[in-house]
Structure 1
Amino acid sequence: MAPIPLSERPLDKYWFIPFFVLNIAVITYMIDIEQVTTMPPIAGKPYPWWPPRAVVDIVRWYGYKYDPLLIARPPFWRASIYYDIFFFGPFYFYAIHAFTKGINAIRIPAIIFGTCLTTVVTLILMEEIYGEYAAHDPFFVVGVNLPWLITPIAIVYRMWMGGERPFDTDKKTC
């Protein structure tokens, strides 16, 4: 059986693959790296060699203006950042390849990824709304983070409903 061409899988082409690319290019290996290389974020402290200075400045601006959790960086937050860097990051590279080529072996890793990311984001959003470091504007911060809650749920659904071979031509897929 051949995989359904990517051109016939708009959900994969226009939602999931761009989500993986965004996470590699911006979130995991820029913003998350900023979170662990500028700990604690002190004004006047030298900038790290990576990420670019503009990214550090934007993250700090956003954190001070909207999201105190991003500045406080309590232990659970840092743990979630390391998890993203060392586990989700490599997954994103493989997922881009697998979703592009229609490789069915991504099914179980994608389900695991989706459930893990949903769990992590739920914990973070609870802190953003009710915690010690609650966001100044929780509706805005939750809105900004909503794609990281909706997308993994959609991926789990896509992989679960696709059966053992979610990309094969004998099935209707997204």
Structure 2
Amino acid sequence: MGLLTNILDGIFLAYFILHIPTTIVVDSQSVVPARFIPSWAKELIQWHIKTNGDHLVGTNPLWFVSLVACECFIQLPFFFFATYAFIKRRNWIRMPSILYGTHVATSMVPILVDILLSPSSGPKRVTLALIYLPYLIVPLLLVVRMVVTAQPFGDDRKRRGKYKAQ
């Protein structure tokens, strides 16, 4: 494995680990009833809306809520599996990573287009787009990382010491 691959894998691992509390505390507020959200988390999201002009989180249009629901109920479990797989260097994460990365990159397109072009976006649209942009770039990099090789973490048999030279 090359240095770039190791750096990317570290970025992916950090992304998955950080995305767990972010999804639970912040993003889930678009789909979880307010009575189940702690007041400090509600204040955090209000600060984000005010500071960054996030009209999507502020208004929660139905199409946006549907994407957040996918994040909470499909992507969140994946973050745990991916964290484990990247720590243990398990090749079985390859196809789920391709599916995840493709899904997220595709769902980020309408979000970024809305942020950049919608009349509802305010003067902070570029700042907001830059906040959301990593959620497009990292999944796309993950797809590329996983597509280029059938065994992203090398031969399992060699790595686990089970490979016998013929």
Q: Which residue of 1 aligns with 2:102?
A: 115
Q: Which residue of 1 aligns with 2:134?
A: 147
- What letter is aligned with 2:152? P
Q: Note the C-alpha offset of 1:64.
A: 3.4
Aligned length: 152
Q: Which residue of 1 aligns with 2:114?
A: 127
- What letter is aligned with 1:64? K
What TM-score comes out, normalization by structure 1 length?
0.80
| Residues 135 and 148 (structure 1), Cα distance of their counterparts in 2 relative to 1, 3 Å cut | farther
Which has the bigger relative contact order, CA under 8 A and spacing at least 6? 1
> 1:121-150: per-residue Cα shift (whole Å, max 9, x none)?
111011111124324311100111111011
Q: In structure 2, which of residues 27, 36, 47 is the aligned counterpart of residue 32 of structure 1?
A: 27
- What letter is aligned with 2:6? R
> 1:23-82: per-residue Cα shift (whole Å, max 9, x none)?
1012x11112212235xxxxxxxx5333x3222112112213411111110111000010
Separation (CA, whole Å) in 1 of partners of 2:141 and 2:81: 18
More helix by share: 2
| Residue 97 in structure 1 maps to residue 90 in structure 2 | no
Separation (CA, whole Å) in 2 of partners of 1:64 and 1:74: 17
Fraction of identical pairs, as percent: 28
Q: In structure 2, which of residues 147, 154, 165 is the aligned counterpart of residue 168 of structure 1?
A: 154
What TM-score comes out, normalization by structure 2 length?
0.84
| Residue 22 in structure 1 maps to residue 9 in structure 2 | no
Structure 1 unaligned regions, length at least 5 = 39-46
Q: In structure 2, which of residues 42, 50, 57 is the aligned counterpart of residue 64 of structure 1?
A: 50
Moved over 2 A (4+): 8-11, 47-50
| Residue 10 in structure 1 maps to residue 7 in structure 2 | yes
Q: Note the C-alpha offset of 1:164.
A: 1.2
Structure 2 unaligned regions, length at least 5 = 157-166
Separation (CA, whole Å) in 1 of partners of 2:122 and 2:66: 20
| Residues 135 and 94 (structure 1), Cα distance of their counterparts in 2 relative to 1, 3 Å cut | farther
Separation (CA, whole Å) in 1 of partners of 2:150 and 2:19: 26
**What do you get for the CA RMSD once the two structures are aligned?**
1.9
Separation (CA, whole Å) in 2 of partners of 1:64 and 1:136: 12
Separation (CA, whole Å) in 1 of partners of 2:7 and 2:48: 32
